[in-house]
Amino acid sequence: MALRYLVPALAVVGSAAAACSGTSTISSSADAAALSTCSTFSGDIAIATSNGDDIALDGIKRITGSLSVRKNNKMSSLSADSLSQIDDSFEIQDATLLSTLNFPSLTAVDTVSWIGLPQLGSLSFTAGLSQVSSMDIENTVLATLDGINLVEVDTLIVVNNNFLNDITMQLGNVSTALTLSANGQDVRAEFPNLEWATNMTLSNCSSINIQSLATVNGSLGFYSNFMDGIMAPNLTSVGESLAFVSNEMLTNISAPSLRTVGGGLIVSNNTDLVQINGFPRLQTVGGAVDCNGNFKNVMLPSLQQVKGAFNLQSKRDIGSSCSRFQKLAGSSAPIRGKYTCKSGTANPKGVDSTRGGGSSTSSGGGSGTSSSPANPMYISGATGLMGVVAAIFGML
Ligand SMILES: *[C@@H]1O[C@H](CO)[C@@H](O)[C@H](O)[C@H]1NC(C)=O
Ligand SMILES: *[C@@H]1O[C@H](CO)[C@@H](O)[C@H](O)[C@H]1NC(C)=O
Ligand SMILES: *[C@@H]1O[C@H](CO)[C@@H](O)[C@H](O)[C@H]1NC(C)=O
Ligand SMILES: *[C@@H]1O[C@H](CO)[C@@H](O)[C@H](O)[C@H]1NC(C)=O
Ligand SMILES: *[C@@H]1O[C@H](CO)[C@@H](O)[C@H](O)[C@H]1NC(C)=O
Ligand SMILES: *[C@@H]1O[C@H](CO)[C@@H](O)[C@H](O)[C@H]1NC(C)=O
Ligand SMILES: *[C@@H]1O[C@H](CO)[C@@H](O)[C@H](O)[C@H]1NC(C)=O
C-alpha cells in the first residue's frame, strides 16, 4: 500500500474536547493526552515537527489511518500503551533524538517505515509486531529487531543499520522483495523457515541461513557478503537471475537441488572461489552463464540449455573447463548464445564488457564502474540478433 504523505497541519488548538477522527497533529503531551478517550482513532495522527515533549498515545487501541513523525529533532520518546493496530502506515522519518519507541500491545501495521533514527537503539514491542505487509528500516542504530517477528511479508528492507548484527525471522515467504545491505559488520541473516520469495538481495552479511528456501520466483543475489560458504540446499528454481558477486571470502557455493535459472547465472569477482561446482543438477539457464574471477574449474554436469551467452573468464588456467564447454556451444547445442572462454586473463570480464564493439574499454586501473552493478546478459532474440536484458538488481 502506498504511503499517504501527510501534510503537516499547523498545531491544532490544545486541549479542547477530543475529536476521535480526522487528522490530528500532536504538538505537546497535552494534545496526546486529549486523545486518550479515543479507543479507535479514525484517521491519521501526526506528531508535529515542533513537538519536544515525550508523547504517550495512551488509551488508543486502533488507528484506522497512519501514525507519523517526520523531521522532528526534539522528541525523545513515543509510546502507546494499548495500541494494537495501525491500519495504514507507521512512519517515522528523520527523528534525530528519538530513542524510545514503546508499543507493548502493537501487533499489526500495514506499512512500517522507520528511516533516519540515529538514537534509536532498541524497540519495546512486548506483544511483538507480527503482521506487517511492508517493512522498511533504514539508518537506525538498532542493535536488535527483538519485538518484530514476521511470518509473512510483501516487502522487507533492512539497510544501513550499522549496529544490527542479527536479523532472524520466522518468515515463510516474501511476496515482493527482501533486501538486506550495510547492516552490522557481523550480521547474521537467519530465515530458517523461508520457502519462497520473489526478489531477494543479500549484501554485506556474515552468515545466511536459507535452509528451506525452495523457490525464488524473481531474482536472487548475494553481493559483498563475508561468509565462506553460501548454502542453498533446497533451492530448486530461480525465476529470473541468480548472482554471486564480490563475496570476497567465498570458497564454496552449494545449490545441490537447483535445476532451473530463468535469467542469468552470474558468478563474478568472488576472489577466493576456486571451484564453481555447486550446481550439479542445473539443467536450464534462460539468460547467460557468466562466470568471471579467479577460479580454476567450472563444472555444470547437468547442463542442457543456456539460451543466452556463455562467458567464462579467469585469472587462472581454466583450459580444461574451456575445452569441455566448447563442445557444448553451437546453434543447436546446449549453449546457444555467444561463447567466450578466456583462460589466464589478467582482467576477467563479465558479459556486459565482452560485447563486440562494446563501449567500455576498461582502463587497467581500479575503480571504474559505480557501486550498482548492472548485470546485462545477452539472449538470442527471434531475429538471431543478440538482445540485451539488463537485469539490474536493486542495490539501493
Ligand atoms: C506464506 O507463509 C506463511 C507462513 O509460513 C503461510 O502461512 C502462508 O500460507 C504462506 N503463503 C503462501 C502463499 O505460500
Ligand atoms: C556492501 O555491499 C555493497 C553491494 O551491495 C558493496 O558495494 C559495498 O562495498 C559493501 N560494503 C562492504 C563494507 O562490504
Ligand atoms: C527441503 O525440501 C524437502 C522436500 O520438499 C522437505 O521435505 C524438507 O523439509 C526441506 N528442508 C528444509 C530444511 O526445509
Ligand atoms: C512463488 O513460487 C511458489 C512456489 O512455486 C508459489 O507457491 C508462490 O505462489 C509463488 N509466488 C508468486 C508471487 O508467484
Ligand atoms: C571485487 O571484489 C572486491 C572485494 O573482494 C572489491 O573490492 C572490488 O571492488 C570488486 N571489483 C569489482 C570490479 O566489482
Ligand atoms: C561445500 O558445502 C557443501 C554443503 O555444506 C558440502 O557438502 C561440500 O563438501 C563443501 N565443499 C567444500 C569444497 O568444502
Ligand atoms: C525483481 O527484480 C527485478 C530486477 O531488479 C525487477 O525487474 C522485477 O520487477 C522485480 N520484481 C518484483 C516483483 O519486484
Nearest CA to ligand 2 atom 6: 224
Q: Write the CA distances from 326 to 22, 250, 321, 333, 334, integer angstroms.
A: 69, 27, 8, 10, 10
Residue pointed to by grid coordinates 556474515: 206
Residues 67-77 have a mean pLDDT of 98
- In sequence order, the 6+-apart residues with CB closer than 8 A to the CB of 343 are 314, 316, 317, 318, 319, 322
3-class DSSP state for residue 305? strand
Does residue 204 line the site of ligand 2, with CB under 6 A? yes
Least confident of 32-41, 75-84, 97-106, 351-360: 351-360
From 208, 210, 212, 254, the mutation candidate for ligand 3 (largest count of ligand atoms within 8 A of CB) is: 212
Domain boundaries, the chain: 39-142, 175-396
Nearest CA to ligand 2 atom 11: 204
Q: Which of 86, 82, 34, 85 minimizes the C-alpha distance to 65?
A: 86
3-class DSSP state for residue 210? coil
Q: Other CB atoms closer than 10 Å to residue 246's CB: what's the count?
A: 17
* Paired strand residues for 166: 188
Q: Model confidence over 213-272: pLDDT tens digits?
A: 999 999 999 999 999 999 999 999 999 999 999 999 999 999 999 999 999 999 999 999
* Ligand 2 center from residue 247 Cα (angstroms): 9
β-pairing, 386-392 with 374-380?
antiparallel
Q: Is the pLDDT of residue 110 over 80?
A: yes
CB 211 within 8 A of CB 190: no
Q: Write the CA distances from 25 to 50, 77, 92, integer angstroms.
A: 11, 16, 14
Please spell the DSSP secondary structure of 310-377, one letter per residue. Answer: EEEEESS--HHHHHHHHTTBSTTSSB-S-EEEESS-SS---HHHHSTT-S----SSS--S-SS-EEEE
Long-range contacts made by residues 56-62, C-beta under 8 angstroms, separation at least 24?
Answer: 56/29, 56/32, 56/80, 56/81, 57/26, 57/32, 57/83, 58/32, 58/33, 58/82, 59/35, 60/35, 60/36, 61/85, 61/105, 62/86, 62/87
Nearest CA to ligand 5 atom 5: 248
Residue 87 CA to residue 80 CA, distance in Å, equals 15
Q: Model confidence over 304-341: pLDDT tens digits?
A: 999 999 999 999 999 999 999 999 998 778 998 999 99
* Ligand 7 center from residue 218 Cα (angstroms): 6
From 175, 196, 200, 234, the mutation candidate for ligand 4 (largest count of ligand atoms within 8 A of CB) is: 196
Q: Other CB atoms closer than 10 Å to residue 134's CB: what's the count?
A: 20
Does residue 269 line the site of ligand 5, with CB under 6 A? yes
From 150, 152, 171, the mutation candidate for ligand 1 (largest count of ligand atoms within 8 A of CB) is: 152
Residue 182 CA to residue 157 CA, distance in Å, equals 11
Q: Other CB atoms closer than 10 Å to residue 337's CB: what's the count?
A: 23
Nearest CA to ligand 7 atom 7: 391
Does residue 229 line the site of ligand 6, with CB under 6 A? yes
Q: Model confidence over 384-393: pLDDT tens digits?
A: 222 222 322 2
- For residue 352, the model assigns a pLDDT of 73
Does residue 375 line the site of ligand 7, with CB under 6 A? no
Q: Is the pLDDT of residue 346 over 50?
A: yes
Q: Which of 116, 114, 119 minimizes the C-alpha distance to 129?
A: 114
Q: Write the CA distances from 68 to 43, 80, 135, 246, integer angstroms.
A: 12, 13, 14, 38
Residue 204 C-alpha cell reads as 554485506
* Ligand 7 center from residue 239 Cα (angstroms): 10
- For residue 14, the model assigns a pLDDT of 38
Confidence of residue 353 (pLDDT cuts 50, 70, 90): low
Torsion of CA 148, 153, 155, 156, to 10 degrees: 30
pTM: 0.86
- For residue 396, the model assigns a pLDDT of 23
Residue 288 CA to residue 350 CA, distance in Å, equals 10
- For residue 333, the model assigns a pLDDT of 84
Residue 272 CA to residue 270 CA, distance in Å, equals 6
- For residue 65, the model assigns a pLDDT of 98
- For residue 25, the model assigns a pLDDT of 97
Does residue 237 line the site of ligand 6, with CB under 6 A? no
Give the closest ligand to the alpha carbon of residue 389.
7
Confidence of residue 369 (pLDDT cuts 50, 70, 90): very low
- For residue 103, the model assigns a pLDDT of 98
